[in-house]
């Protein structure tokens, strides 16, 4: 389909025979109508549209009427400068409105139909023209038969008519016809308006509004009807809804006076022009308001709790928007505030101490605006009493407070507690209470002149209706100068030594000690500082060695931290002298004892020397014996055999010792031959490796055992000592037959059995003379 761009001009020519008449033509373009006329070279033209006021155009022969679709017809009246002639023309605005999907018939009456050439019908939209139907002498051609249907009968009739099917928003526009594209089309045209739903609205405006102020909500939408020059002339109307309930407001803007309850409402709107739009998304007004009050849950005004106990948790509640920031704090007894940890709006469980006075919940709003709520704490406690003596605290309960006799004594008890405690002061010597109070924290008791009888253990007692008794004890000692010791005596109990004694008296209320002095020339010299064992106890002092027969003067006094007593009367003691006989005896004893010690030491040395000499001689003898033995090629040792062990056998065997001379004595001792290798025989094998020696020894043992087994001779041959052991050859040879009928039963296997006997090696055999070579050859 070919698109042709041109200005559609509807020209209506009006000709009159009068002089200076104007020919007015029209042109419809994008919803505006352009009126133009002949230019008479006038300075100005006066133009009037319908019943409006006159308008003057300067040096122009045209006038445009904007938004022609607002009119059904446009009447124009033109008068040239200096002319009394009014040139009039009426332009009919033809328009039809349809909905999407409808079918519409477009028709108008043309002033004439050309007898030759083509007659074209155009669809013009946004300065773009599209040819949809062509008519000539042969008939007509429709470019899109599914969209358009030509209905004029006959087809070349001046009554132009055609149908548009299933219209859409794109079908809207200006439909006009003419024979040529470059000349004005004869007759009028028709504007097709396609109506559509307005766009889905969007609500705009400030949704966060303080309570009491107005919230202005605007429903914003646009028409979708075409053509555009029609849509810009459309005025939409609106419907407003509160929680799906329709309101009376139909304007674009909804005004609300905001209250706290508006936070529970939702607002939506819809736009309409012939058709209603889709409803907008709902919005919610957010009313802003400050907190009016704060509450603590569970509700409490004053809470009584013991120190160390737990309170909470407590929740802080308030209504404000935006939500307030909740903080907790407590106020101490001095009025100072301290921040307290919390979780969201909840005060966590707290352990209470006496410094807590008030707990406060604070709701913090914008611009430093706050509201708060609080509850009071009555913390109950009772401290241990603190005793004071003459205004000085007794911190250590075991401490003793010393006071001078005849001075003023102020005893005080301080007990801190809530509720106010009852305070008592008590002596240990009795159960009565000296003083008491139940209205203050202090108890004071004054003794105008302290005496020794005031020395005692005192107890401060505090209690209340909530707590049991709490006590603190302290001791008061009324002190004075100690008394002079009594019974101060002394004597010399041995030559050069003396002993001094005395009896301890009252220490004045303080721990005392004794100073014993001896007179040296004209001055007194301190010789001892002794502790006090207690009043009425005897004190002893034993001097160092003094000069015998000389007189000594002593004096004594007792002291404490206050002062010392007066000195005791002096005593004189003469040291005993030793007799001459005792001195001589002592010297003799010393000399005798020293001599005995020296003799004992010399004796021990001589004994050790003799033992050492004897040990050396024995060692030399042993070495010589070993050398003699090593010189002999073979040594035969003899051992005494105890025959008592052999008698236990039923059939006794004769023990025969080879080459042993027969010896009979009163003990009837038998000797067994013991053969050992001599050192001279062992020398050749000494150089052999240890492994070879072991193997050779093993082979010899096996060989000897085999030979003995083959020959059966046990007494006639001596086995070689392979392992350095002592072997005893015992002959169990078979005895000759005995025809005696009383012969004992024969023991089988006796020829090869092994017998064991006890050998006494403590006895030595007689020396065996060495055989000569001739005898050996025999």
25-29 vs 342-343, strand pairing mode:
unpaired
Q: pLDDT digits over 168-186, tens only?
A: 999 999 998 887 654 444 4
Report the C-alpha gap between 218 and 204 in whole angstroms. Answer: 5
- Going by pLDDT thresholds of 50, 70 and 90, the confidence category of residue 761 is low
Give residue 576's pLDDT: 76
Q: pLDDT digits over 453-474, tens only?
A: 888 889 999 998 888 889 999 9
Whether the predicted pLDDT of 319 surpasses 70: yes
Q: 111-115, 133-137, 760-764: which has the highest mean pLDDT?
A: 133-137
Whether the predicted pLDDT of 248 surpasses 90: yes
Give residue 709's pLDDT: 40
Computed from CA positions of residues 586, 589, 593, 595, in that sequence, does the dihedral angle turn out positive or negative?
positive
More confident residue, 598 or 586: 598
Computed from CA positions of residues 672, 675, 676, 678, in that sequence, does the dihedral angle turn out positive or negative?
positive
Give residue 583's pLDDT: 52
In angstroms, the Cα distances linking 554 to 544, 566, 598 are 14, 14, 46
Rounded mean pLDDT, 696-703 = 48
3-state SS assignment for residue 328: strand
Computed from CA positions of residues 702, 704, 705, 711, in that sequence, does the dihedral angle turn out positive or negative?
positive
Calculate helix-pair angle for 679-686, 580-631, nearest 10 degrees: 70
End-to-end CA distance of the chain: 164
Q: Flag the least confident range among 72-76, 197-201, 444-448, 653-657.
A: 653-657
Report the C-alpha gap between 502 and 473 in whole angstroms. Answer: 36
Rounded mean pLDDT, 615-628 = 70
Whether the predicted pLDDT of 297 surpasses 90: yes
Whether the predicted pLDDT of 162 surpasses 90: yes
Please give the structure tokens belonging to residue 348.
């966590």
Q: 390-399, 648-657, 761-770: which has the highest mean pLDDT?
A: 390-399
More confident residue, 729 or 332: 332
Q: Looking up tokens 């001075």, which residue turns up?
A: 407
Give residue 586's pLDDT: 63
Q: Flag the least confident range among 125-129, 178-182, 316-320, 482-486.
A: 178-182
Rounded mean pLDDT, 412-419 = 92
More confident residue, 51 or 774: 51
Q: pLDDT digits over 683-692, tens only?
A: 334 344 444 4
Give residue 624's pLDDT: 63
Give 681-687 contacts, CB < 8 A, sequence gap 24+.
Answer: 681/633, 681/634
Q: Flag the least confident range among 17-31, 127-141, 498-512, 688-702.
A: 688-702
Computed from CA positions of residues 366, 368, 371, 376, in that sequence, does the dihedral angle turn out positive or negative?
positive
- Going by pLDDT thresholds of 50, 70 and 90, the confidence category of residue 615 is confident
Give residue 512's pLDDT: 80
Rounded mean pLDDT, 327-352 = 91
Report the C-alpha gap between 75 and 399 in whole angstroms. Answer: 127
Please give the structure tokens belonging to residue 724.
């350095």
Whether the predicted pLDDT of 680 surpasses 70: no
Whether the predicted pLDDT of 646 surpasses 50: no
Report the C-alpha gap between 73 and 91 in whole angstroms. Answer: 5
Give residue 105's pLDDT: 94
3-state SS assignment for residue 563: coil
């Amino acid at each position: 389909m070919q698109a042709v761009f041109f200005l559609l001009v509807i020209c209506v020519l009006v000709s009159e025979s009068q002089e200076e008449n104007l020919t007015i033509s029209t042109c419809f373009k994008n919803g505006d109508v352009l009126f133009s006329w002949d230019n008479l070279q006038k300075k100005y033209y006066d133009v009037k549209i319908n019943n409006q006021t006159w308008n003057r155009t300067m040096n122009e022969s045209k006038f445009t009427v904007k938004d022609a679709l607002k009119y059904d017809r446009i009447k124009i009246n033109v008068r040239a400068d200096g002319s009394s002639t009014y040139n009039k023309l009426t332009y009919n605005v033809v328009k039809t409105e349809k909905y999407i999907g409808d079918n519409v018939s477009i028709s108008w009456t043309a002033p004439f139909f050309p007898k030759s050439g083509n007659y074209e019908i155009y669809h013009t939209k946004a300065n773009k023209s599209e040819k949809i139907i062509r008519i000539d002498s042969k008939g007509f051609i429709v470019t899109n038969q599914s969209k358009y249907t030509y209905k004029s009968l006959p087809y070349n009739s001046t009554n132009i008519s055609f149908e548009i099917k299933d219209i859409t928003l794109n079908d809207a526009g200006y439909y006009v016809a003419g024979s040529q594209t470059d000349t004005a089309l004869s007759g009028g045209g028709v504007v097709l308006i396609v109506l559509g739903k307005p766009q889905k609205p969007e609500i705009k405006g400030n949704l966060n509004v303080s309570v009491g102020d107005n919230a202005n909500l605007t429903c914003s939408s646009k028409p979708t009807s075409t053509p555009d020059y029609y849509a810009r002339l459309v005025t939409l109307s609106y419907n407003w809804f509160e929680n799906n309930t329709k309101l009376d407001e139909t304007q674009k803007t909804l005004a609300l006076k905001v209250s706290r309850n508006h936070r529970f409402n939702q607002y939506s709107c819809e736009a309409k022009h012939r058709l209603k739009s889709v409803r907008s998304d709902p919005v919610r007004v957010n009313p802003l308001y400050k907190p009016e009050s704060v509450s603590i849950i569970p509700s409490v005004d004053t809470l009584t709790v013991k120190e160390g106990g737990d309170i909470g948790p407590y929740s802080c509640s308030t209504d404000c928007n935006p939500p307030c920031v909740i903080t907790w704090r407590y106020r101490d007894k001095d009025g100072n505030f301290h921040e307290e940890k919390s979780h969201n709006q909840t005060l966590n469980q707290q352990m209470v101490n006496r410094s807590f006075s008030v707990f406060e919940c604070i709701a913090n709003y914008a611009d430093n605006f706050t509201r708060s709520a609080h509850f009071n704490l009555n913390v109950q406690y009772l401290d241990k009493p603190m005793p004071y003596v003459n205004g000085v605290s007794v911190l250590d309960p075991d401490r003793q407070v010393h006071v001078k006799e005849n001075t003023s004594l102020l005893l005080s008890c301080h007990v801190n507690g809530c509720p106010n405690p009852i305070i008592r002061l008590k002596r240990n010597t009795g159960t009565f209470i000296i003083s008491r109070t139940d209205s203050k924290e202090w108890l004071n008791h004054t003794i105008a002149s302290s005496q020794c009888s005031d020395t005692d253990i005192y107890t401060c007692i505090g209690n209340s209706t909530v707590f049991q008794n709490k006590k603190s004890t302290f001791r008061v000692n009324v002190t004075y100068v100690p008394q002079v010791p009594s019974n101060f005596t002394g004597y010399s109990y041995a030559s050069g030594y003396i002993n001094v004694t005395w009896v301890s008296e009252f220490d004045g209320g303080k721990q005392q000690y004794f100073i014993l002095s001896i007179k040296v020339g004209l001055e007194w010299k301190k010789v001892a500082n002794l502790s006090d064992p207690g009043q009425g106890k005897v004190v002893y002092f034993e001097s160092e060695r003094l000069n015998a027969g000389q007189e000594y003067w002593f004096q004594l006094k007792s002291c404490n931290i206050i002062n010392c007593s007066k000195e005791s009367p002096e005593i004189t003691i003469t040291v005993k002298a030793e007799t001459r006989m005792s001195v001589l005896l002592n010297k003799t004893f010393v000399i005798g004892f020293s001599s005995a010690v020296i003799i004992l030491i010399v004796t021990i040395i001589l004994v050790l020397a003799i033992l050492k000499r004897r040990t050396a001689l024995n060692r030399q003898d042993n070495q010589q014996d070993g050398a003699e033995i090593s010189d002999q090629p073979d040594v035969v040792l003899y051992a005494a055999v105890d025959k008592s062990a052999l008698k236990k056998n039923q059939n006794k065997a004769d023990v025969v010792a080879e080459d042993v001379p027969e010896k009979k004595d009163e003990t009837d001792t038998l000797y067994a031959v013991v053969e050992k290798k001599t050192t001279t025989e062992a020398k050749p094998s000494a150089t052999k490796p240890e492994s070879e020696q072991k193997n050779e020894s093993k082979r010899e043992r096996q060989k000897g055992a085999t030979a003995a087994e083959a020959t059966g001779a046990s007494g006639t041959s001596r086995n070689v000592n392979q392992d350095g052991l002592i072997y005893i050859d015992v002959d169990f040879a078979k005895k000759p037959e005995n025809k005696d009928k009383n012969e004992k039963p024969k023991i089988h296997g006796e020829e090869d059995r092994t017998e064991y006997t006890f050998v006494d090696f403590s006895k030595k055999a007689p020396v065996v003379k060495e055989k000569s070579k001739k005898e050996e050859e025999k």
